[in-house]
Amino acid sequence: MKLIRSVMEMVPQDKPICRPDQKKIYGVARNEAAEILCQVDAYPPPESFKWSFNNTAETIDMPQSGYRVHAEQASSLTYTPVKELDYGTIMCWADNVVGQQKEPCVFHLIAAGKPEMPYNCSLVNQTSESLEVDCAEGVQRGGPGATKTPRWAKTSSSWRLTQHFCNILTISTAGMPT
């Protein structure tokens, strides 16, 4: 006689909630497309997402054609501000078989001005032909704590910044040994 045991595992089911560590402020210039990523935690995984936009004048539900749903409990919205009223608050909700999340994930779209000065810079790689510097940047281009790696290129007797912070700084090597 065989004895068969059955073990039932109880897995709690929850409505989606926003992941706390996602980017919340997007600095974007007019006519520049922003890719806004909404990430949630839920079990079972979300079945669908909904997006809306709110400014000082109105609230608009975003059409499904403007966003994608990803397999890893996320959705991304491509949004391009054209005029001043296109800046504001973007919200995202997910739902699963348990229900719709109570509080939306909230993102703020702000007009990007000229880039802020990079700070907290450190030299990470230097050769005779290139210089690589890591810098943190402010809210205008990516939010607090965002990191960019500017690229420097040697042109005749000067080094010129070629990526991210274009034309902010030129370092002359004239009169220095090569």
DSSP state, residue 169: -
Q: How much is the pLDDT for 4?
A: 60
In this structure, the answer to whether residues 99 and 152 fall within a common structural domain is no
In this structure, the answer to whether residues 24 and 80 fall within a common structural domain is yes
Domain that includes residue 142, residue range: 119-172
CATH of the domain at 23: 2.60.40.10
Per mean pLDDT, which range of 30-39, 68-77, 130-139 is the poorest? 130-139
Q: What confidence tier does 71 reach under pLDDT thresholds 50, 70, 90? A: confident
In this structure, the answer to whether residues 45 and 87 fall within a common structural domain is yes
What would the pLDDT profile of 80-133 be if each residue is shown by its tens digit?
A: 999 999 999 999 999 999 999 999 999 999 998 776 777 788 888 888 877 788
In this structure, the answer to whether residues 29 and 106 fall within a common structural domain is yes
How far apart, in whole angstroms, are the C-alpha atoms of residue 102 and residue 105? 10
pTM of the model: 0.62
In this structure, the answer to whether residues 123 and 107 fall within a common structural domain is no
Q: How much is the pLDDT for 30?
A: 94
Q: Measured between alpha carbons, how far apart are the two ends of the chain, in Å?
A: 87
In this structure, the answer to whether residues 103 and 27 fall within a common structural domain is yes
Whether residue 30 is contained in a domain is answered as yes
Whether residue 4 is contained in a domain is answered as no
